[in-house]
Amino acid sequence: MSVLELATVGEGGSPGEALRGATELAKRAEEWGYHRIWVAEHHGMPGVASSSPAVIIAHLAASTSTIRLGSGGVMLPNHAPLVIAEQFGTLHALHPGRIDLGLGRAPGTDMVTAQALRRSANVDPDEFPQEVAALTAFLDGANPRVQAIPRGDDRPPIWLLGSSGFSARLAGLLGLPFAYAHHFSAAGTEPALELYRTSFRPSEVLAEPYAMIGVSALAAESEQEALRQAMAGALAFLRMRLGRPGRFPTPEEAAAYPYSAAETEFVYGRLADVVYGDRDQVRTGLEELRKRTGADELMITTTVHGTETRIRSYELIAQAYEMTP
C-alpha cells in the first residue's frame, strides 16, 4: 500500500502550505507503514504544486528515513533523458535503496505549456521507447560518449506508467514493473494489465510481472462525511475537464455548485471510480478492486480540501489494514 502525492493547493491556501502538508504526510505515512510515496508531475494547474518531482522527492527523502520515494511519474517527453539521469542519479546517491524512477509519456499539462517545457513543437510521444532506452543507457553508464554523473554502482528501479495499452505493452516487453492510472482511467485498467502480463518477458530486474494501480480513495469517520469530501474532488475534476482548472474547492463550494444535468452525470460517474466511506468500507472496496485486477500493489491518491482531512484519510486506511512500519 503506497501513496501518490500531488501537493494539492486548496482554495484559500498556498503552494507552500500544500508542500508542507506533503512533508507532514510523508512523515506520518512512514510511521504508519506505507511502502512508498510517489510525486506526480503536473504543470500549469493552480490546484497542484507538484511541477518539480525531483525537488520534492529530495525534500521528502531528507525529511524521512525509510519510506521509498519516487516519481509517479516524470513525464519523459518534457525533459532531456540526460537531465533526468543526473537528477535521479543524484537522488539515488543521496538516498541509496530508497528512490524509484517512474516514467510516463503524457505531457502532464496542456499542449501550449508542454511546448514551453520542451522548447520544440516536434516532440513525438511515440518516441518514448527510444527515450527510455537513452535514459537507461545513461543510468547504466552504457553511453560511450556522454556520462551521467553522479551515478551509483546500480540504478534506481525504473517503472513505466500509463493510462493506455502503449506503456503496458512496452513495460512487458522490457521486463519492467508497470503502474496503471486507474484513478483517472478506470475503464482501461483490466485490459491494460492483461496486455502487460501477456507481453511480459523476464529481465535482469524482474522475473515476473509486477503491476501497481493508482486508486482514488477517501476514508472518513462516516460514509456521509466521505461523500461530502469526495464531491469537492469530483468538482475539481469537472473543472479540469472543462478547461477551467483552479485551486481545490471546499466541500461547501462543491455542495453549492449549480450542476447542470450533464455535469451531475459526469460528477457521479467520477465518484463511481472513487473508493470512499468509513475505514472498513474503504478497505472492502480496495480489496474488491485488488482481487478483480490482480494488482500487486495499490497506490492511494486522496484529493480533498485541507491537509488534516487528507492525512486522517490515510491514517484510517492504515488502521483498516493494521499496517505497521
Q: Where are the alpha helices (DSSP H) in 33-162?
A: 53-62, 81-94, 111-118, 128-140
Of 210, 237, 236, nearest to 298 by C-alpha is: 210
Strands (E), the chain: 2-5, 36-39, 68-71, 74-75, 99-104, 158-162, 178-180, 211-219, 274-277, 297-301
Q: Which grid coordinates belong to 17?
A: 502550505
Instruction: Return the pLDDT at 120.
Output: 63
* Per-residue model confidence as pLDDT tens digits over 140-172: 999 989 999 998 788 999 999 999 999 999 999
Going by their DSSP bridges, the two strands 99-104 and 68-71 should be labelled as parallel
Confidence band, pLDDT 50/70/90 cuts, at residue 121: low
Percent of the chain as helix, strand, coil, to the nearest 5? 50, 15, 35
Instruction: Return the pLDDT at 85.
Output: 97
pLDDT average, residue stretch 208-218 = 98
Angle at 228 between CA 7 and CA 293, to 5 degrees: 70
Residue with cell 528515513: 65
Check residue 94 and report its DSSP letter.
H
pLDDT average, residue stretch 218-239 = 96
Across the chain, mean pLDDT equals: 94
- Signed CA dihedral, 301, 303, 307, 309: sign only: negative
Q: Please name each of the domains of the chain with its CATH number.
A: 2-225+277-321 (3.20.20.30)
pTM summary value: 0.94
Instruction: Return the pLDDT at 165.
Output: 93
* Per-residue model confidence as pLDDT tens digits over 25-36: 999 999 999 999
pLDDT average, residue stretch 235-249 = 91
